[in-house]
Structures are given as structure tokens and as C-alpha cells.
Structure 1
Amino acid sequence: MAHKFTVSESDHGRRLDKTIRSIWPSLPLSVVMKGIRTGSVRLNGKKSACDVRIEAGQEVYVPWEPPAEREGPPLIRRTLPVLFRSDGLLAVDKPANLLVQPDRKGQDNVLDRVKYMMRLEGAEERAYAVHRLDRNTTGVLLVALSGVVLRLLQDAFRNRGIEKTYLAVVLGVVQGSGEIDAPLLKDRASNTVRVDKGGKEALT
């Protein structure tokens, strides 16, 4: 049975495929992308592309049943200290040993905590990590509450329009200051990071 939904203000500026996945999280990405490519998914009645940026008020037609309404409270029922709040942005104090996003269902994480906080306020349960912090890192984490804010802030990070400061406990005396400009490569097997020419650009 086909289903139609109208793009909300909070999804304005998001990719079509990512918006659909957020509404139907149980659908494999390959199924969503195939639906868009073959025209089974239509935007305002027309065939579209996976990476198109949708706009508030547009209508999306999909060949799947409407998502089931969630019953009961979210699985994660914990909150976080809020450092800053606006209509579309939340800055929270992430503690150590807490993932930003879960590795498996039911695992405690920042985004589900924020969604629970939104539910307590009666607000729309949307939360998108603007950037990442490692599990064992504590600090300020920006969480977008809408697709528009997410896109704006990610562009700002990408263009180095936002400055991040890291504090670390060191042994000995550190002389002066400077910059470390070296690409970093993550080894998932050992959960470590090393300097490598094939790594991601990093400036500290």
C-alpha cells in the first residue's frame, strides 16, 4: 500500500534518502535507494534522485506501508546537562563512556537521550549529531533539532567556520604552543588512531 507524506520544516534541506530512512528506519538503505532510482518513490509526483535536497511542503510518495506508531516511552530514559538551547540547536555536556550514536539497539547514547528530553517537553523527537566525540571523550556536543540547522552547521565545520578546543591531561611540562597538521587513520580492529598519509586531514 502506497503512502504519502508532506516534508516538514525540520526536514527542509535534508537529502531525500536520509529523510525516508529516518521515517522507516527498518528499511535497508538499498531498498530505499532502489525505490528512488526506479521511480517507485516520487517527489511532488515526479521521479527524483537519492541526494536531492527536499523542501518543506513538498509531497513524497513511497510504496511502503505507513510506519507503525511507537508505543510507550523511548528505550533510553536518561537526560543530559544542557549548556545551550535554541529552537533548532542543543549543546549538551557529553560524559565519558557514552556513545554519540548506538552500535546496537538498546545501547545508551546521546541522540536517544536528547530524543527522550524532547519527548518530555512534548516536542518533536528529532536529534542529529552535528559532529562527533569519541566514546571516552567528554565535552560539548552540538545536536541539531532540524535538518536545516544540521546542514548549516555541518557546512560551517567543513569550511572551518567553527573552532574546537581540546583540553588534555599531560605528564611533564609542555613548552609553548603550536599546530599539528597530520592526516589520521583509524584502525577499527585495535580502536586506535595513527598518523598515515592515507588518513583523513586533521589539524590540531
Structure 2
Amino acid sequence: MNILIQKQWAGMNIEELFRNIWEFPKKVIHELRMDKAVTINGQELNWKTPLKHGDEIVITLRETLDLDFPTSLPLEILYEDDYLLAVNKPEGMATHPNENERNSLVNAVAFYLKSIGAAPKARHIHRLDKDTTGVVLFAKNALSKVVLDRMLNDRKIKRTYWALADGIIKNKKGEIAVPIGRDRHHPTRRRVSKTGQYAITHYNVLETFFKENLSLIECSLDTGRTHQIRVHLSYIGHPLSGDKLYGGSSNFQRQALHARKLEFIHPFTLVKIQIIAPFLDNPPIFEKYL
């Protein structure tokens, strides 16, 4: 893993970068030090040595033994660099596999990584429901995952979804802040529950279609609970169109939810990244409403 020192980090040392900027766990920092896994411009230097703009840090990572099972499946790559990968998930594909199913996005990404000579370990940073489409972010190594996981938890990765909701939503902007828990009467369904997990969804109505009785909305999340958008929209009386599990109409073959965009500052290059996922449905769901 190669990282060029940016202007903002000049004068810091390796210890400060690892602890204060990227917030690597203490165990990871200790392992890197013990393994002598870090070089600066090709040399093993003291970790307290101040770094200069343009210096190159090379981190040699331990390879994980817990590798994924690669499966050859179509994969649309939206963004890729040495640290991370963003792909466009189609409907009907689970994000990660289970005991009986290895045709997941994780398996497809593992196959791609193997094809480019990398270890087939697909580290997803977040996930989408099986019938939700759109962008999913993966880390290409263990350290990238540590940093991206923390960024997601700290809401430094902005996720924007587009949805078609049943009915005409009158408020052009709104916030749904109610906790979500399991539905004890159904194995997979979630529900609003006082004892559930804290959850906030923000929405913005982009367009309303009175003839079809639909609202096109943009959603962003402060939290990432299972089925969060689906549960919250159903709670306010505007379930996702096509979402039969939560009371939606049968207008579409799946819930009309698409992870449209990811935005964040790249943790290792400090470049602003914006990733937009094209629509994948055939027949189309969103296109005629744009």
C-alpha cells in the first residue's frame, strides 16, 4: 500500500499520521511496527522522523487467510484506485453470500480482485438490500477498510438514494427520526419500535406525479439501519412503490429504491470523490420520471 504525503501532513511523523489522521487501531499500529512493515522513500526510518510533502510511505500488509469465494459474474465498476472500489449492484443480487448462495456482489468483487492479481477478499463498507440497486463501496485492503468504516460511522461518507414513493408527499423536505427494531412476527421485516435503534432519514421531494400517484424523492441517511428508508417511508404513509413487504403498491417488480450517489474526501489522496450510479433496471423504473 503506497501513500504520498500531502501538503496538509508535512511535518507530521508516521506515528501521528497513523494515530491522529487515519486512526488505525493500536493493535494494527503495533503489528506494523513489529513487522517493520513501513518504509519512507524506500528506507526504514525512525517513526518520529518528520515527513515532507511528496514523501512516499509504503506499507507492507499481512495477507488475510479469510478469503472470499470468487464467482464470475457481470460487474459494473464505477470507481477504482489502489485503495478502494465502487461497483453498481443490480437488483436480485445479495451484497454478501450465505451458506447456500455464492452469487453475491462480494463473490463477484472477489473474482474481479483475483483477476487483477489481488487477494480475493471483498471488504464491503456498507450493504444494500437484495432488491435495491446502486453504488456499493469496497475497501481493497485491511487498512483502507479500517479508515472507510470509521468515515462511514462518523458520517463523512454521504450516501444519497433516489426512491419512488406511493402517494403525493406534501412536505417538500422532511426528516424522519424514529427508532427501528425487529418485527417479532416476521423473520426479515423491521418496524418502528420505541426499543429499537436510533435512526434518521432526510428526504427531499424532487418531483410529484399526480396521474401515477407517485413522488420522486432523494433520501440521505444519518444512520444505516436495516431497511431504514423502507421502514421510515412506510411509517409516514408513503411506502416505496413496489415494496410489498412494507405495504407498497405493485407498480414495479421490486421496491423502487436506488443508491444513486456517494460523496467523500478520499482519506489517502484528499481528493473529493463523487460517484454516481446509473440506473440498471430493464424494464426501466426511474428513467421515465426524470
TM superposition score normalised by structure 2: 0.45
Alpha-carbon spacing, 1:56–1:80, altered in 2? closer, same or farther (3 Å): farther
Q: Give per-residue Cα distances to partners, 1:1-59, cap 9 Å, x unaligned.
A: xxxxxxxx69xxxxxxxxxxxxxxxxxxxxxxxxxxxxxxxxxxxxxxxx943634756
Max Rg structure: 2
SS of 1:170 mapped into structure 2? strand
Conserved? CA contact 1:76–1:106, under 8 Å: no
Higher strand fraction: Structure 1 or Structure 2? 2
Give 4+ residue runs of structure 1 displaced > 6 Å after superposition.
none
Conserved? CA contact 1:118–1:124, under 8 Å: yes
Which residue, 193, 196, 202 being the options, matches 1:196? Answer: 193
SS of 2:118 mapped into structure 1? coil
Partner of residue 5, structure 2: none
C-alpha distance in structure 1 between counterparts of 2:107 and 2:154, whole Å? 28
TM superposition score normalised by structure 1: 0.62
SS of 1:168 mapped into structure 2? strand
Q: What are the within-5 Å matches in structure 2 for residues 29-48 of structure 1?
A: none
**Which amino acid is 2:191 matched to?**
R
Partner of residue 183, structure 1: 179
Partner of residue 130, structure 1: 125
Alpha-carbon spacing, 1:106–1:56, altered in 2? closer, same or farther (3 Å): farther
Q: Identity of paired residues, percent? A: 31
Q: Give per-residue Cα distances to partners, 1:56-94, cap 9 Å, x unaligned.
A: 4756xxxxxxx7xx9xxx551113100110111000001
Q: What are the within-5 Å matches in structure 2 for residues 136-175 of structure 1?
A: 136-175=131-170
Which residue, 81, 103, 106 being the options, matches 2:98? Answer: 103
Alpha-carbon spacing, 1:104–1:187, altered in 2? closer, same or farther (3 Å): farther
Alpha-carbon spacing, 1:78–1:194, altered in 2? closer, same or farther (3 Å): same
C-alpha distance in structure 2 between counterparts of 1:103 and 1:184, whole Å? 24
**Which amino acid is 2:198 matched to?**
E
Return the offset for 1:118.
Answer: 1.2
SS of 1:185 mapped into structure 2? strand
Paired residues in the alignment total 144
SS of 1:160 mapped into structure 2? coil
C-alpha distance in structure 2 between counterparts of 1:75 and 1:131, whole Å? 19
Conserved? CA contact 1:79–1:116, under 8 Å: no
Which residue, 25, 28, 42 being the options, matches 1:53? Answer: 28
